[in-house]
A and B are shown apart, each in its own frame.
Chain A
Amino acid sequence: MENYIPVLLLLGFAIIVASSILVLSWWLGPKKPLAVKLSAYECGVNAEGSPHAPFASKFYLVAVMFLLVDVEAAFFFPWALVYKESLQLGPILFVALVIYVAIFALGLFYIIKKDCLRLR
């Protein structure tokens, strides 16, 4: 755990830098708010409707695909760590990889076949 002390230290420095920039920028700048200045930027016209309008469902689709594929991809990491050492035991982890990749590829094939990538 001792290795993580410098990381916490770095986190402290980063928080100090980020918050001091925020405070300085607020403190040093002039404050002359105008209704027009504070309106949402919409290329010169008045903004219509809610800024949080419903958005395209393709983003939702990407999120679902990410959840599936990234969880699968995360399982490669422990495999990679022990693979080099396991070679002395024969090809057992290679066989495991081939089986796992087959499942992975099946999922990816399904995504492509279902036309999930036509994200226009």
Chain B
Amino acid sequence: MNTVDIAILVAKTLLFYLIVLHVVPIMVWVERRGAALIQDRPGPNRVGPFGLLQPVADFVKFIFKEDPIPTGANRGLFLVAPALILIPASLTLAVLPFGDKVKLFGREILLQVADLDIAILYVLAIGSLGIYGILFGGWASGNKFSLMGALRASSQVISYEIPLGLAAVGAVAVYGTFSLREIALAQDGLWFGWLPRWGIFLQPVGFWLFFIASFAETNRLPFDLPETEAELVAGYHTEYGSMKFGMFMMAEYMNLTTISGVMVTLFFGGWHLPFVADAMLLKWIGSQNLLGLVQVVIFLTKVAIFLCVFVWVRWTVPRFRFDQLMRITWGRLIPLGIVNLLVTAGVMLWLGGWK
């Protein structure tokens, strides 16, 4: 590796990190305006055109607010918890394949931070590290609401990790690889000349499991038992103020982006346009580098659609009770995941492995 390689590596990593980091303020705006739209009220519309600068105003206000540490708190854990939840949320984006590859400075550059051959395991493993932040935050706050929220959050996240993993196992069995890049590459083109070669047509039940479990993994509304503002004030971040509270929000939206990205890659063709093969797109555009840019735009558009679905569901569906939540995963999703796996394996055996 020489200096140019290292510079490219740093620039690429920073670029994708900044892309996902900038999803956060956009999502804050989309969430608040989306909520307003669904609840038939104007929403934040004062700061900038359509209230677009509201997240900036929020950030400035957060950062200039007092940063109190409650007397009952365990100071060390209380301070480190928001960082512990934000860092894993940032790390998972490393394996998202934003696009195929571009040629710059005589080198082929993958449009992905790191093409790990265990990408799916990496996402599941690092993604579940965030639970330490939640648990430490709730425990260290010295508040009963926080502790209750943290306990609920941890039991919910670990429970829904199993259906999430089982859904991913189905996709891995079909594609025969853990690498998200190879899975995305396998979804180029059409079957029978009319059906996009997307994972959802191979694993419809797997997608549905992954989709449901991802709501619970990111603590979003039908399963936002850890927060339940009507019972637990704000759950594990009750005692947090200033930008430390903002860090929990940042982590939530970054997790949302990553899980949407994984969902797009596993089940919705990654960076591929439906009905248009990459080779055809390359012929229209004429340049590999431009194609890379278009692919990143396509990928981000698909992710944006999923993020909008998350907002839409959050403000439409009411919350489950804790025992219902647990019964859904242990009694329904996990058996369904295993049956899905058996059926997938059986069909693959019957077809002799699809090419």
Q: Contact residues of A with B, CB < 8 Å?
A: 3-7, 9-11, 13-15, 17-19, 21-22, 24-26, 28-33, 35, 37-43, 47, 51-53, 55, 59, 62-63, 65-66, 69-70, 73-74, 76-77, 79-85, 87-88, 91, 93-94, 97-98, 101, 104-105, 108, 111-112, 116-120
Contact = CB atoms under 8 A, between A and B. Distances in A.
B173 A80 contact: yes
A76 B132 CA distance: 25
Given A9-B10, A40-B239, A116-B330, 16 more contacts: A3-B117, A5-B114, A6-B9, A9-B9, A10-B13, A22-B244, A37-B68, A39-B72, A42-B144, A51-B142, A66-B158, A81-B177, A84-B353, A97-B341, A101-B341, A105-B335
Interface residues of B, number: 85
Given A10-B91, A41-B233, A104 B338 contact: yes
Contacts of B162: 66, 69-70, 73
B83 to A, nearest CB: 4
Given A41-B145, A51-B143, A77-B169, A94 B349 contact: yes
A29 B114 contact: no
Contact of B69 (A11, A24, A38): A38
B116 A3 contact: yes
B284 to A, nearest CB: 31
A97 B72 CA distance: 51
B82 A22 contact: yes
Contacts of A26: 67
A101 B346 CA distance: 13
Given A19-B83, A81-B176, A81-B177, A29 B239 contact: no
B158 A76 contact: no
B323 A119 contact: yes
